[in-house]
Structure 1
Amino acid sequence: MKCIFCTINETVLENKLAYAFFDKYPVNKGHLLIIPKRHVEQYFDLTLEERQAIDDLLFKGKELLDQQHQPDGYNIGINCGEEAGQTIFHVHVHLIPRYKGDIDEPRGGVRGVIPEKRMY
């Protein structure tokens, strides 16, 4: 089965080792995915250079989204493995803009991956 991320051509940001594109099923307006160009399933298998390239695009993505959408905050997330919710097995980092009022109570943020543990 061919990896859908290995055939993406609608990129908005790119460097030597990674690129970014808008999520086809965004959580919020401006939701970006940043991925390595090399097909790698798990974040923990990336090279140091690939991690740095992804980090570079995270910051450039934030600048782009700040200009285009003026979000009030961000969530950054990586699903590593099927039990963590990964469904496409090509590393992808979510940069999700957050907006005041997009959920009633944002407290707990990424802890919401297990809903009953979000509030503490």
Structure 2
Amino acid sequence: MALESYTFGPYKKDSREVFYSTNLSYALVNLHPIVPGHVLIIPRREVKRFADLTVDETSDLWITAQKIGIRLESYHKATSLTFGIQDGPQAGQTVPHVHIHIFPRKDDALDEKEKKLKKKLDLEKERKDRSLEEMTREAEEYRKLFL
């Protein structure tokens, strides 16, 4: 993979964190994953709100999310997927750049566990940053799904 420049809002992202890209979107492993396989799909153009995407960007973003979701669901032996967008700061968007979260889901027990954790912890404070090496290894595994 050629070294490319990726930005996510105000952040420069290392190309080793990216495991899939198109002309309009790219897929990135998450710095703070909530579940295994939690990734982000991001338009290349920095756009703060979903309504500001072009038709082509919107289409490419969702087609990319669909393609990534199918492969990650199989890879993680999940049975379902959650796709989510937090559109604006009051919706919980912490990076001012449109992005779709994908969460592979396995069973109801996981959802119950998450609900209990959310009651006990402030996840933004308790979740730890992963190292670039850890994210690089994960992205390398996911890249193999698209060869």
Range class of TM-score, shorter chain? 0.7 to 0.9
With the length of structure 2 as denominator, give the TM-score of the two structures: 0.65
Q: Give the deviation of 1:8 after TM superposition.
A: 4.4
Q: Give the deviation of 1:66 after TM superposition.
A: 2.5
Structure 1: stretches of 5+ with no match in the other structure: 107-120
Residue in structure 2 matched with residue 26 of structure 1 by the alignment? 33
Q: Give the deviation of 1:105 after TM superposition.
A: 8.4
Residue in structure 2 matched with residue 15 of structure 1 by the alignment? 22
Residue in structure 1 matched with residue 112 of structure 2 by the alignment? 104
**Secondary structure at 1:102's aligned position in 2?**
helix
- Bigger proportion of residues as helix: 2
2:66 pairs with one of 59, 70, 73: 59
The superposition leaves residues 72-97 of structure 1 with CA deviations (integer Å, 9 ceiling, x where unpaired) of: 21111101111110110011111111
Q: Give the deviation of 1:7 after TM superposition.
A: 3.2
Distance 2:36 2:100 in 1: 16
Distance 1:31 1:105 in 2: 16
- Residue 38 of structure 1 aligns with an amino acid whose one-letter code is R
Distance 2:51 2:14 in 1: 22
The superposition leaves residues 26-84 of structure 1 with CA deviations (integer Å, 9 ceiling, x where unpaired) of: 11100110000011111110000001111121111112203321212111110111111
Distance 1:19 1:86 in 2: 18
**Secondary structure at 2:18's aligned position in 1?**
coil
